[in-house]
Amino acid sequence: MDMDVEEASAPKERKPVLVILVGAPGSGKSTFCEEVMGSSTRPWVRVCQDTIGNGKAGNKAQCLSSATRALKDGKSVFIDRCNLDREQRSEFIKLGDGPQIDVHAVVLDLPAKLCISRSVKRTGHEGNLQGGKAAAVVNRMLQHKELPKLSEGFSRITFCQNESDVKNALNTYSTLGPLDSLQYGCFGQKNPDSKIQVGIMKFLKRAEVPVAAASRESGIEDPTSQTPGKNNSCCKDKQTFSSIPDNDNSETKEVENQAVGSVGSHANQVSLDDIPTLAFPSISTSDFQFNHEKAADIIVEKVAEFSNKFRNARLVLVDLSHKSKILSLVKAKIAGKNIDAQKFFTHVGDITHLYSRGGLRCNVIANAANWRLNPGGGGVNAAIFNAAGPELESATKEKVQSLSPGNAAVVPLPSSSPLFTREGVTHVIHVVGPNMNPQRPNCLNNDYNKGCKILQDAYTSLFEGFASIVRNQTWHPVGKSENLERKSLELQVQSDCSRNYFTKTDQKSKRDVDHGLGKSKKYKGTRDDSGLTFTDSRNENVDSEHRTERSMTKTWGSWAQALHQIAMHPEKLKDDLLEISDDVVVLNDMYPKARKHVLVLARTGGLDCLADVQKEHLQLLNKMHDVGLKWAEKFLNENASLVFRLGYHSAPSMRQLHLHVISQDFESIHLKNKKHWNSFNTAFFRDSVDVIDEISSDGKAKLKDDDKLLSMELRCHRCRSAHPNIPRLKSHISNCQSPFPAHLLQHGRLVRAPGEPHSNVQ
């Protein structure tokens, strides 16, 4: 590599790397750091919790601030602590927010026995973990480990499962010069499939809550958890460990798999997608027999043209085999070009299994299509249509019937497609390239003048199609620092509001719509004097985005906007919604507080909460109630033992009037605190039937929005017995068979299946 030439023309950025080491005590983390630091030409700082307090053990905050300082100074950083679970890693990952820092994980996933024997033998270890207790600690830690995933926010993960892997990783980092950067992706993981599958299901929030997490939450006491253990303070991770027998490696593995299955409690923390990524096969070089050398030139030319235009997106050329001629040609030709290795790289793997088998998240894949855009033929086209299911075929047909060579068509992939659920692919771009195969239509008979032109056009269309996807998911793509955009991301809004394939910037943009003017606070407390001013326009079903800034009822935090966004633009999330009509949208509550919990969302602009509802909305309230009933009845058909209640929160946390349709089992890990319980089981919850009565008689609904209601003692909603805390309450309600209080049995406040007890009480 000719550094001088490159630096002269376009100097590379000095990009610090934040390497989060992941490994049990004895896995060799400190040794790894020392060896790299001993031979690297890059400035490194090792942040070690065991020594950070003037040579003694410190805390996580000290590590974070020390790492922050070092990164600011442009130094690369090793985080030398166990980091075996996602939560422990997450704050360190955040340090890398922004494009200037690459966050890597190096996983020292060595056999438990090896770690233990090293831990037991050593003396003078910084973390004071040595001798006999080490075995128990290491074993316990390994049982709870969660291997890192790219979705946590890493740009590169290197898995080392034996000494030779470690050696390779050492070499990689030791030779990483100050101006170099490493390829993105997962490296070295031997059998990722099963775990990644769990990971992506969580990622897409399709997975059910694992039993382990649910039972823990239910408050049922687990006698095994009471074992009084020896407490060891090794723990950088501040855990305590009980003494457990020495497991051999195979047992450890089994437990580990269970542990991976039980990270459900973290499902809500699952981070977002990686950088928007287009994976594309080489166009025309397979069945269309285009000359590889010429094709490689064109790929390199077009990649060079486009890759640097992307601020935060990457292109990946994919082929099935390491022996791929086109991959080698492109790799060879790209070497002399000034192309950021993170914005373009090659990948060997099946384009339909990039995430599940390769750990490479690509939200967009290109298909080397035929002009009819049908699934026929072989190769990539057949593979993609096959993997994507009939959804892709119908989505394609809706969009475009045929495509001539040199063109591309972007097709959003329905969320029911296996490629979406399994691989996280949100769009397929069909591309038709030039054909040099006389057996296929439109053969150019070796006319490479035309052929090259068409192939260039094909890549241009492809990359522009990809750019348009990135642009559409990013409302303000230009002139805004990625750093700011990423920092402003809120996971919560993400999970409340949207499908997880949205880019980080997407969320920011959504909030910008509501908060871009930054005015909400100005209107705080002006309800009385200006409420009337806007009354007239409140029930317009259009463009509330600026006007409702002035919602007179209260100010809404940035996290409270998700439902409003959905009500205004349901089409953006249509695959995740249960029903859309002109007046309402029905969706599953993102954090259901019972086995069935859906929201019927009004679509009227400016109607933020019950306080906003007036007589003119009566028809809407009736409609919402009817739709809610319809869904309750649907659920009752599936499970007649459920009981439903329909109602509104007196003071909702989320903006945009929504009716809760919630089953009365309250069996949910998301029901976690007093406020959750009391918001559904005190007068704070206003039954839809009562609200409708009040609006029709008084023109307004009674609000019981006193905070005291939400902090009331916890009482069973059936027998009214009091309980000291949420776990005990949940344990009680899981068994309580008492009839519901008389009040609820009247006026149709409870909705039950016909034939169930009390179902006809009015």
Partner DNA sequence: GTTCTAGAAC
Catalytic residue set:
658
249 or 725, CB closer to DNA?
Answer: 725
Give helix then strand counts, H and E, for the chain. Answer: 28, 21
CA distances from 290 to 149, 404, 451 (A): 38, 16, 8
Instruction: Return the residue of 128, 268, 374, 472 that touches DNA, per CB under 7 A.
Output: 268
Residue with tokens 């409702």: 548
- Which one of 728, 734, 739, 758 is in contact with DNA (CB under 7 A)? 728
Residues 215, 217, 220, 224, CA torsion sign: positive
- Strand locations in 524-623, DSSP E? 579-580, 584-588, 597-602
Whose Cβ is closer to DNA: residue 230's or residue 747's? 230
Contact assessment for residue 628 and residue 646, using Cβ atoms and an 8 Å cutoff:
yes
Q: Binding mask 91-120 vs DNA (x if CB under 7 A, - otherwise)?
A: x-----------------------------
Q: Where are the alpha helices (DSSP H) in 474-541?
A: 482-487, 491-497, 504-515, 527-535
- Of positions 38, 124, 223, 724, contacts DNA by CB under 7 A: 724
Q: Does 674 bind DNA (CB under 7 A)?
A: yes
Q: Which of residues 630-649 bind DNA (CB under 7 A)?
A: 649
- For residue 74, the surrounding DSSP H or E stretch is none
Region 52-81 residues binding DNA, contact defined as CB under 7 A = 60
Choices 153-161, 197-205, 397-405, 669-677; region in contact with DNA by CB under 7 A = 669-677
Nearer to DNA, 269 or 539 (CB): 269
Q: Is 94:152 a contact under the CB 8 Å cutoff? A: no
Q: SS3 helix, strand, coil % of the chain, rounded to 5?
A: 40, 15, 45
Contact 329, 292 (CB under 8 A): yes
Helix residue spans in 683-741 (DSSP H): 688-698, 707-710, 726-733
Nearer to DNA, 186 or 654 (CB): 654
Tokens of 674: 């007093």
How far apart CA 142 and CA 129 sit, in angstroms, is 15
Task: Give the residue with the Cβ less far from DNA, 173 or 680.
Answer: 680
Q: Is 90 a residue that touches DNA (CB under 7 A)?
A: yes
What is the end-to-end Cα distance of the chain in Å, rounded? 82
Nearer to DNA, 158 or 492 (CB): 492
One residue of 352, 370, 561, 679 binding DNA per CB under 7 A: 679
Cβ atoms of 544 and 568 within 8 Å: the answer is yes
Residues 6+ away with beta carbon under 8 Å from 138: 24, 25, 26, 112, 115, 116, 119
Applying CB under 7 A, among 416, 481, 537, 711 the residue interacting with DNA is 711
| Residue 670 interacting with DNA (CB under 7 A) | yes
What's the rounded Cα separation, in Å, for the pair 536 and 604?
13
CA 656, distance to chain mean position in Å, is 24
The count of chain residues that interact with DNA, using the rule CB under 7 A, is 37
Tell me whether residue 94 or residue 623 sits nearer to DNA (CB atom).
94
| Of positions 34, 87, 180, 576, contacts DNA by CB under 7 A | 87
Type of residue numbered 437: N
Residue span binding DNA (CB under 7 A) among the ranges 46-54, 109-117, 530-538, 651-659: 651-659
Selected binder of DNA within 155, 370, 396, 492 (CB under 7 A): 492
Binding letters toward DNA, positions 189-228, x by CB under 7 A: ------------------------------x-----x---
- Contact characters 564-603, DNA, x per CB under 7 A: ---------------------------x------------
**Does 233 interact with DNA (rule: CB under 7 A)?**
no
By C-beta, is 54 or 225 nearer to DNA?
A: 225
Q: What is the largest CA-CA distance in the chain?
A: 85
- At residue 618, φ and ψ (nearest 5 deg) are -55, -45
For 646, phi and psi rounded to 5 degrees? -115, 130
490 is a site residue for DNA (CB under 7 A): yes
Is residue 732 within the footprint of DNA (CB under 7 A)? no
Q: Which stretch binds DNA (CB under 7 A): 133-141, 439-447, 502-510, 726-734?
A: 726-734
Q: In this complex, which beta carbon is closest to DNA, that of residue 172 or of residue 731?
A: 731
Residue 231 tokens read as 């407490």
Among 652, 661, 695, 705, binds DNA (CB under 7 A): 652
Q: Is 653 in the site for DNA (CB under 7 A)?
A: yes
340 in helix, strand or coil?
A: coil
**Mapping DSSP to helix (H, G, I), strand (E, B) and coil, where does residue 107 land?**
strand
Residues forming contacts to DNA in the complex (CB under 7 A) are 60, 87, 90-91, 219, 225, 229, 231, 240, 268-269, 490-492, 495-496, 557, 559-560, 591, 649, 652-654, 670, 672-674, 676, 679, 711, 714, 724-728
